[in-house]
Structure 1
Amino acid sequence: MRQFKVYRHPSGALDCVKPGWSWPAFFFGGFWGFSKKMWWPGAAELSGLLVLLVLPVHAVFPVVAVLVCHLVFGWCGHAWLALHLLRQGYRHADTVTANDRGGALALSIRQRGWRVSTGLLNG
């Protein structure tokens, strides 16, 4: 069981974020950012990779730089996603403990008595 923060948009849309480490963000880095429509982390990583490809540097440096970048994505990924939701107009509405994102959304809907169309669930 993990803790999830549930965010609700004024339109009724719901999404949730698990605080802490993000394995998908760690493994996929900038592509994870693009998949979440967070353009700046994805663009920052890809532009950094392009710079590393162009610069004549020792072969170990790009590997270390990519590893550090992915560690930052893993550590900050969920916080960036929560900030992205807040900037889109979502507000923190609930904190629940569940096995997964879908369970967290369902539990929050049931506990709060929200009426939500399935098209408005981002989990």
Structure 2
Amino acid sequence: MKKKYRVFKSARGEYEAVKIGWSWPAFLFTWVWALINGMWRIGLGVLVASVGVSMLFFAFSSSALDTVSASPVGFSIAVIFGINGNEWRENKMFGTGYRSRKIVTAKSADEAVATYLRGQQ
């Protein structure tokens, strides 16, 4: 299935594409995804908050079943990451000198870049 990608170009002439919309990797891997993508504040903030919330639930729970109530918190964080992840990536790219070139429909980020480059010839 084809999706829409925003193609970016760096000052050094490198191209990269970011899918527009929902980000499954950000949803599934939250803080790990953020750290891999160089979003240190978001990644470390969520990691520290997650550990803190887990410790609080563990310290104040009367049974192991009480810790299940922490699940909605983690799921909510994952949904926020899924909704905003690709936009956060785009903002990071703008901040590091990339410029948006065009929106392309493609099956993958690599195909989006290739499609963009073919159209520039």
TM range (shorter): 0.7 to 0.9
Residue by residue, what CA displacement relative to the aligned partner does 1:37-58 show, whole Å, maximum 9, x if unpaired?
1112211210111211222364
Counterpart residue type for residue 99 of structure 2: R
| Match status 1:13 vs 2:14 | yes
TM (norm. structure 1) is 0.86
Q: CA deviation at 1:7?
A: 0.6
Corresponding residue number in structure 2 for 1:36: 37
Corresponding residue number in structure 2 for 1:111: 119
Counterpart residue type for residue 105 of structure 1: V
Corresponding residue number in structure 1 for 2:55: 54
Unaligned runs of 5+ in 1: 114-123
Q: Percent of counterpart pairs with the same letter?
A: 28
Corresponding residue number in structure 1 for 2:99: 91
- 1:104 is paired with a residue whose SS is helix
Q: Among residues 101, 104, 107, which one is paired with 2:109 in the alignment?
A: 101
The structure that is helix-richer by fraction is 2
1:55-94, aligned counterparts within 5 Å?
55=56, 56=60, 58-94=66-102
Alignment RMSD, CA only? 1.3
